[in-house]
Amino acid sequence: MEQNLVFTTMVDAAYIHIPFCRRRCYYCDFPVFVIGERLRGETSLGMQQYVATLTEEIANTLVSGQYLKTIFFGGGTPSLLSVDQLQQILAILDRRFGIDKEAEISMEMDPGTFDLPHISGYRHAGINRISLGVQAFQAELLQVCGRSHNLGDIFSAIEMIRQVGVPELSLDLISGLPHQTLEIWQDSLKQAVAITPTHVSIYDLTIEPGTAFGRYFQPGDRPLPTDEITVKMYRLAQHLLTGAGYEHYEISNYAQPRHQCHHNRVYWENRPYYGFGMGAASYMGGKRFTRPRKTQEYYQWVKDGCVINCEVTPVDEMLLDTLMLGLRLAEGVGMQMLIEKFGKQNVEKIFRILQPFVEKRWVQIVGGRLKLSDPEGFLFSNVVLSTLFKELGK
């Protein structure tokens, strides 16, 4: 079905995609444009054209009538934007939708891509949450991954973020990297905790075909850690971070009390959101809207007035989405909500499918909520979710 954007749902979250990076990390299969180590938003013609098109797209979008409560700049490397470009995007969002005074405005940033005037400009523009792509605290591992930052960049980035008073700081770490031992992983976790960020995100490396790692390594081959070690890495992270006072509130995310990421919760709770930029998806009223994934096609699409190819998500897929996303959260999904939205019969079917996992204690029903146990259920979430996918999809 093809139609213009018509919103029947109140939407208060927006994702903005900035697909530019200085170089390509060896494990990355995202569709990004590499602009080299020296260019950035104010000097890259490609970025200038992209921001102009992005702001045009936002200006063309119908509003749902709700102020934005969360905005998330993701990429790519959004911290390559100039302060002026960030201000332009926020200004058009504010004009079009209104930004709530208390809105969480997050940006993914990479160490080494900003200096003090730059981060100070971001802070004044409204950025109040930074997700810093640290990935590892060992110079050799950063090199092994093809990251463009070094250890010094990490510590000076944190110092600058603190200096300008950004209240929410999340550190991203990756486990399962080549040459990463359990001891090295423990060192990264301890260094992260010593920085006392408000939030920590942990990703387990996946070897994707088509990446440099995909060419060098087969999953399970040395120097990649074995499955046994990566499981130990997950347990160690859970043990160390919860021991340091972080709540393990989502499979891959830990937060100090009252510091969870509000924007990402919108996805996990399967709530509606706007998405802007090349390849970004928006989701509202059970409909998913995806923008073109290639630059010229995206530019042409905006020029043609942003007519969306929209797919209505069938009810059984909506049920799967709700489970797949909701079970990522420690609190799981509410049984009553499932019954009201999808009917008693469907929920009974889910119970039957999940029974073997309840017996294994990977799945629990506590206080009227269906949830995965921590860490066992989280560790085997792939098995639980793929079984649900297979059986519900029949």
As beta bridge partners, residue 99 has 68
As beta bridge partners, residue 132 has 109, 171
Please give the residue whose beta carbon sits closest to ligand SF4 in the complex: 28
151 Cα distance to chain centroid? 23
**Contacting residue, 13, 14, 21, 119, with ligand SF4 by CB under 6 A:** 21
Q: How far is the CB of 136 from ligand SF4 (least distance, A)?
A: 13
Q: How far is the CB of 148 from ligand SF4 (least distance, A)?
A: 7
Question: Please, which residues have CB within 8 angstroms of residue 250's CB and are 6 or more apart in sequence?
Answer: 260, 264, 268, 328, 329, 330
Q: How far is the CB of 147 from ligand SF4 (least distance, A)?
A: 7
Q: How far is the CB of 143 from ligand SF4 (least distance, A)?
A: 14
Question: Please, which residues have CB within 8 angstroms of residue 226's CB and are 6 or more apart in sequence?
Answer: 220
- Helices 45-60 and 295-303: angle between axes, nearest 10 degrees: 40
Is residue 221 within 8 Å of 205, Cβ to Cβ? no
Tell me whether residue 20 or residue 97 sits nearer to ligand SF4 (CB atom).
Answer: 20
Q: In angstroms, rounded to a whole number, what is the distance separating the alpha carbons of residues 370 and 265?
A: 17
Restricted to residues 299-328, the positions that interact with ligand SF4 (CB under 6 A) are: none
Q: How far is the CB of 251 from ligand SF4 (least distance, A)?
A: 19
**Contacting residue, 28, 107, 233, 319, with ligand SF4 by CB under 6 A:** 28
Tell me whether residue 28 or residue 224 sits nearer to ligand SF4 (CB atom).
Answer: 28
Q: How far is the CB of 158 from ligand SF4 (least distance, A)?
A: 17
In the shown chain, the binding pattern of residues 170 to 189 toward ligand SF4, with x for contact by CB under 6 A and - for none, equals: --------------------
Is residue 20 within 8 Å of 280, Cβ to Cβ? no
Restricted to residues 120-149, the positions that interact with ligand SF4 (CB under 6 A) are: none
**Site stretch for ligand SF4 (CB under 6 A), options 26-34, 124-132, 222-230, 314-322:** 26-34
In the shown chain, the binding pattern of residues 101 to 120 toward ligand SF4, with x for contact by CB under 6 A and - for none, equals: ---------x----------
Is residue 377 within 8 Å of 362, Cβ to Cβ? yes
**Contacting residue, 32, 89, 160, 237, with ligand SF4 by CB under 6 A:** 32
Q: In angstroms, rounded to a whole number, what is the distance separating the alpha carbons of residues 237 and 230?
A: 11
Tell me whether residue 222 or residue 293 sits nearer to ligand SF4 (CB atom).
Answer: 293
Q: In angstroms, rounded to a whole number, what is the distance separating the alpha carbons of residues 277 and 30?
A: 14
Question: Please, which residues have CB within 8 angstroms of residue 178's CB and are 6 or more apart in sequence?
Answer: 144, 213, 216, 217, 223, 224
Q: How far is the CB of 25 from ligand SF4 (least distance, A)?
A: 3
In the shown chain, the binding pattern of residues 59 to 98 toward ligand SF4, with x for contact by CB under 6 A and - for none, equals: ----------------xxx---------------------
Q: In angstroms, rounded to a whole number, what is the distance separating the alpha carbons of residues 355 and 372?
A: 13
Q: How far is the CB of 24 from ligand SF4 (least distance, A)?
A: 5
Tell me whether residue 14 or residue 142 sits nearer to ligand SF4 (CB atom).
Answer: 142
Question: Please, which residues have CB within 8 angstroms of residue 134's CB and are 6 or more apart in sequence?
Answer: 111, 154, 171, 172, 173, 192
Taking only Cα atoms into account, the Rg of the chain, rounded to an integer number of angstroms, comes to: 21
Restricted to residues 342-361, the positions that interact with ligand SF4 (CB under 6 A) are: none
Burial of residue 344 (CB within 10 Å: 0-12, 13-18, 19+) is exposed
> What residues line the site for ligand SF4 (CB under 6 A)?
21, 24-25, 28, 30, 32, 75-77, 110
